[in-house]
Structure 1
């Protein structure tokens, strides 16, 4: 559509509502959502009803709060998968999955926390049910700790607080167990120091996971790229092929990680609060 051409007003108004949900990155009450979208509550409610019908908005049946819906997640995943950075990492992860016979996964930060946008299965059958759209806890998984250690967004801190508070609004079915703050802070320091995160025998016994951060050209964390596999096949040896190859993928496709001498504000804040 050429600049200045007339559009469809109802779609543009819906876009204001969706933009408010995305920018807030947390469930919202009707009143505050209407205010953010510059609408009367009754008008906003009518739009939300239609947006719910097509899956772009979800309303918690218990709290009544609104958040981005499952179709919005699918749209975001579709956009991410077509980005050069994401597609390049996906191709490399597919190769590693085929070679090591483990699951490889790429996660981005979604409206409900770390969310898988691509999963490459292998011949290994796992009790861990991971698929596109699966969410992870921030505190209890290697993938989640990548976002806590290298990200710098208020939504990450808010998600961590919700997990420690055992918030009932957390997405059900998220993978990972909630740790104590001091244990989480120690793992955060370890992740920052190593440049990658690992999980040994958790959340599924005899299952290991490794995850590395993927940064864009501005040095901003975009994805967590990882491997999940049985402990006898997926070694957590720092000099082993799994960790070294993941770090090599990171070096080839993303910018250098931030200096270890300059901690992100979020990581500093989380450690100081432990």
Structure 2
């Protein structure tokens, strides 16, 4: 039998629920907002909103401009946001999302970050029977011949990758092939290679972006040649990997 205290606990504190709804409206406004518009957006009478906003301003979660009386997020809200960003584990989120795809399809994969020597593997996972490869923790991958490297070439600033890419480039014809591969990577939002590092091994890689739009890491699924179907970078697994990379932002 459920007593009254259990019911009350599940209900939570309604005033706090309402504050969350109000703060969300301030976030979505993308700037200072009038009381009337805030009332229209939330469906809450202006008089009630004003009472809550007064308290939120007092504790720093909201603010009110002096010149036009519009409301916005306050200094405490900004500090909370910055603290939350600082505690995000982008690599952890991305790893979990990647592993779910690998487990679903019985694939092997890894997560890489950029280093002074190029892409380096910092996480690995076997979603099925492990592939016997040299793609282990700490392995530095080629910039121009790996799916991971193509993603870094496509989304990092050119001055970060140019020197390493030039070391791997044989001549003008090779440069053109790399340029086309990078363009295709941007077009599909995913890197794809088949047998360029290890014969018979194919790989798909997707970029994981941080909230500021910078490239945080790259997630990669590997399998035997043909494992990703005839469509490669535009196939079903590629779409799942892209979705996982998006989830990796947390």
TM-score (normalizing by structure 1): 0.54
Does the aligned pair in 1 maintain the 2:122–2:137 contact within 8 Å? yes
Structure 1 residue 221 and structure 2 residue 177: aligned? no
Does the aligned pair in 2 maintain the 1:208–1:236 contact within 8 Å? no
How far did 1:226 drift? Answer: 1.0
- Which of 180, 194, 198 in structure 1 is aligned with 2:192? 198
Show CA shifts across 1:17-71 (max 9, x none). xxxxxxxxxxxxxxxxxxxxxxxxxxxxxxxxxxxxxxxxxxxxxxxxxxxxxxx
How far did 1:189 drift? Answer: 1.0
Distance 1:111 1:156, change over 3 A: same
The runs of 5 or more residues in structure 2 that have no matched partner are: 1-86
Indicate the residue corresponding to 1:265 in structure 2: none
Question: Greater share of helix residues, 1 or 2?
Answer: 2
Structure 1 residue 89 and structure 2 residue 84: aligned? no
How far did 1:211 drift? Answer: 0.4
How far did 1:130 drift? Answer: 1.2
Distance 1:113 1:236, change over 3 A: farther
Structure 1 residue 246 and structure 2 residue 228: aligned? no
How far did 1:126 drift? Answer: 2.9
Provide the rounded CA distance (Å) in 2 between the counterparts of 1:92 and 1:142: 18
After superposition, residues 1-274 of structure 1 pair within 5 angstroms as 84-152=89-157, 154-164=159-169, 180-235=174-229, 237=231, 238=233, 240-254=235-249
Provide the rounded CA distance (Å) in 1 between the counterparts of 2:213 and 2:142: 24
Provide the aligned length of Structure 1 versus Structure 2.
Answer: 162
Show CA shifts across 1:116-146 (max 9, x none). 1101024434342111111111011110010
How far did 1:94 drift? Answer: 1.5
How far did 1:83 drift? Answer: 5.2
Provide the rounded CA distance (Å) in 2 between the counterparts of 1:236 and 1:88: 30
What is the DSSP-based 3-state SS (H/G/I as helix, E as strand, rest coil) of the residue aligned with 2:168? helix
What is the DSSP-based 3-state SS (H/G/I as helix, E as strand, rest coil) of the residue aligned with 1:233? coil
Distance 1:118 1:97, change over 3 A: same
The runs of 5 or more residues in structure 1 that have no matched partner are: 1-81, 167-178, 256-274
- Aligned-residue Cα RMSD (Å) equals 2.4
Distance 1:250 1:130, change over 3 A: same
Does the aligned pair in 1 maintain the 2:94–2:249 contact within 8 Å? no
Does the aligned pair in 2 maintain the 1:198–1:236 contact within 8 Å? no
